[in-house]
């Protein structure tokens, strides 16, 4: 058995988490065994820290975490490790809001680490974003935002999502990257250009001196693509999108079938 440590990077939604947003007992058991065998486990998610910290605690982790798809990377248990927060320019954000309002817009949200700003009052989205009890401000973002932001989410009518994305690509490609959320949400997520989970994972890997060929990363959605390309073992979940399956060099079972445990048990002989 290979005794050198591997770095194991876990996406949350659709990967580690079952559809009911819980971690299965079997996944938990095998992840614990991996840690006991000396492997390093971390989380890499599009979520903010406030809504991923419960899973960080549940897995009893003591590693850095990648949030906001790489725009925010820090070590919850070691302030000296450093904080990497890559933001969007406030003036660009204001411009994007002004243009988005010309479309069939439901809402715009801006997040600054764990503070959430809503352009309009929105019960449905308030519910989705209330996990971890963030400070929430409601009202025109152009007035309420006083500093550069971590992430912007635009919730628009389905037929307008592509129009807004085209504008972002045409006008702001140098400064922003945008992705579309999976159905049923017609949401465009915007972070600083060049940010992705692989960037965060590189910081963690270099901290632990783990080479790429000993990185195992699991994912299911397009925000996992760069991370799966970067990792020596880029593992697509059985429920992953076709694009993710094409980029990954390994595959496992779905998030409902303990795909992570199934893969780690076999590859690391746990």
Enumerate the active-site residues. Answer: 11
Q: In whole angstroms, what is the distance from residue 187 CA to residue 181 CA?
A: 5
Residues in Cβ contact with 78 at an 8 Å cutoff, skipping those fewer than 6 apart: none
Q: What is d(CA 115, CA 119) in angstroms, rounded to the nearest whole number?
A: 13
Look at residue 40 and give its three-state secondary structure. Answer: strand
Beta strands 176-180 and 115-118 are unpaired
Nearest CA to 86 among 243, 197, 8? 197
DSSP 131-193: TT--EEEES-HHHH--S-BSEEEEEE-HHHHHHHHHHHHHHHTTTEEEEEPPTT--EEEEEET
**Residue 253, exposed/middle/buried by CB under 10 A (0-12, 13-18, 19+)?**
middle
**Six token digits for residue 69:** 């798809």
């Amino acid at each position: 058995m290979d005794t050198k440590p591997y770095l194991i990077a876990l996406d949350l939604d659709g990967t580690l988490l079952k559809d009911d947003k819980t971690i299965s007992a079997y996944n938990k058991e095998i992840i614990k065994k991996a840690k006991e065998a000396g492997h390093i486990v971390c989380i890499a998610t599009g979520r903010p820290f406030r809504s991923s910290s419960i899973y960080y605690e549940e897995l009893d982790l003591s590693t850095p975490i990648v949030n906001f798809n790489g725009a925010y990377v820090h070590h919850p248990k070691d302030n000296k490790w450093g904080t990497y927060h890559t933001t969007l320019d406030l003036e660009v954000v204001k411009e994007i809001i002004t243009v988005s309002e010309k479309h069939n817009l439901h809402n715009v949200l801006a997040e600054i680490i764990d503070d959430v700003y809503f352009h309009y009052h929105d019960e449905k989205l308030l519910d989705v974003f209330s996990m971890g009890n963030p400070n929430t401000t409601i009202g025109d973002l152009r007035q309420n935002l006083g500093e550069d932001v971590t992430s912007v989410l635009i919730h628009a009518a389905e037929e307008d999502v592509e129009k807004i994305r085209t504008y972002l690509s045409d006008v702001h490609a140098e400064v922003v990257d945008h992705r579309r959320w999976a159905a049923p949400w017609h949401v465009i997520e915007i972070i600083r250009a060049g940010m992705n989970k692989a960037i965060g994972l590189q910081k963690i890997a270099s901290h632990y001196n783990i080479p790429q060929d000993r990185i195992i990363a699991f994912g299911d959605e397009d925000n996992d693509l760069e991370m799966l390309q970067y990792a020596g073992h880029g593992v697509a979940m059985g429920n992953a999108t076709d694009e993710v399956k094409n980029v990954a060099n390994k595959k496992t079972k779905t998030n409902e079938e303990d795909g992570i445990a199934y893969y780690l048990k076999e590859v690391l002989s746990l």
